[in-house]
């Protein structure tokens, strides 16, 4: 498959993947999700690949999340947002090297990885409510299982942004690295993992994610919760999207 929106490289047993839309802050459209799904399925099935690093091209963003300028079409590929936020089980380690903004869906993609490290210039948050959305690609379902519930609610209900120091203090990321060294540190961690038994690594990951599950089915979310149904049936996203484009405060009905 020829990729338009991501870049990849392989160094022996290590796969590196870069969301490659730097002019759009590495925002995710359906085509990008499809490409990420494809490469991560290749990673899962290739016995020679043992560890993956996911990052964003450029210095400004890991990913700013959902591409709000994308016009939805029936021809859009039907895959999980970001390729791995749901319906993806892989017991090989994935490291998120976060450089710059990891917002909304971008942060949800990072939460689907196993080890999160970030540059000292990174910013995190779930601004979806400001445009009439909720963190439906795993943020609302996963975050409170990863950090304390009240801290998760504070982030999810306000849409506020936090820096790397705050993210580390609440347990969202494990390390803060100077921006120029973020990828080298990710590779160091990958090489530390590669010195271990791959069977021991996969067994460990399987135990963790089955004893402390963070997976969810987005279709169940859409059907199960009355407030989600109300939101989906409303025009709040259109109101929020228009206000965002015009740099105005939305007037919710």
Q: Which residues are catalytic?
A: 108, 128
Nearest of 42, 25, 125, 134 to residue 83 by alpha carbon: 42
CA nearest neighbour of 24 among 48, 57, 51: 57
- Which one, of 154, 94, 145, 95, lies nearest residue 124 by Cα? 154
């Amino acid at each position: 498959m020829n990729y338009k929106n991501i870049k990849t490289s392989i160094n022996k047993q290590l796969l590196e993947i870069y969301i490659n839309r730097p002019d759009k802050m590495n925002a995710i459209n359906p085509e990008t999700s499809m490409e990420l799904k494809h490469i991560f399925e290749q990673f899962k099935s290739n016995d020679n690949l043992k560890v993956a690093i996911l990052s964003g091209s450029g210095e400004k963003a890991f990913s700013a999340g959902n591409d709000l300028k994308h016009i939805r079409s029936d021809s859009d590929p039907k895959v999980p947002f970001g390729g791995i936020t749901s319906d993806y089980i892989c017991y090989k380690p994935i490291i998120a090297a976060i450089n710059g903004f990891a917002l909304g869906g971008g942060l949800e993609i990072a939460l689907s990885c196993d080890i999160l490290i970030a540059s000292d210039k990174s910013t995190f948050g779930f601004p979806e409510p400001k445009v009439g959305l909720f963190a439906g690609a795993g943020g609302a379902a996963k975050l409170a299982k990863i950090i304390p519930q009240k801290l998760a609610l504070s982030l999810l209900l306000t849409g506020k942004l936090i820096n790397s120091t705050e993210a580390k203090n609440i347990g969202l990321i494990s390390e803060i690295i100077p921006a120029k060294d973020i990828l080298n540190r990710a590779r160091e961690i990958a090489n530390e993992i590669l010195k271990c038994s791959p069977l021991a690594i996969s067994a460990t990951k399987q135990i963790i994610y089955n004893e402390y599950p963070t997976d969810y089915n987005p279709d169940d979310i859409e059907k199960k919760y009355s407030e989600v149904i109300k939101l989906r049936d409303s025009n709040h996203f259109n109101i929020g999207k228009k206000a965002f484009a015009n740099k105005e405060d939305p007037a919710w009905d």
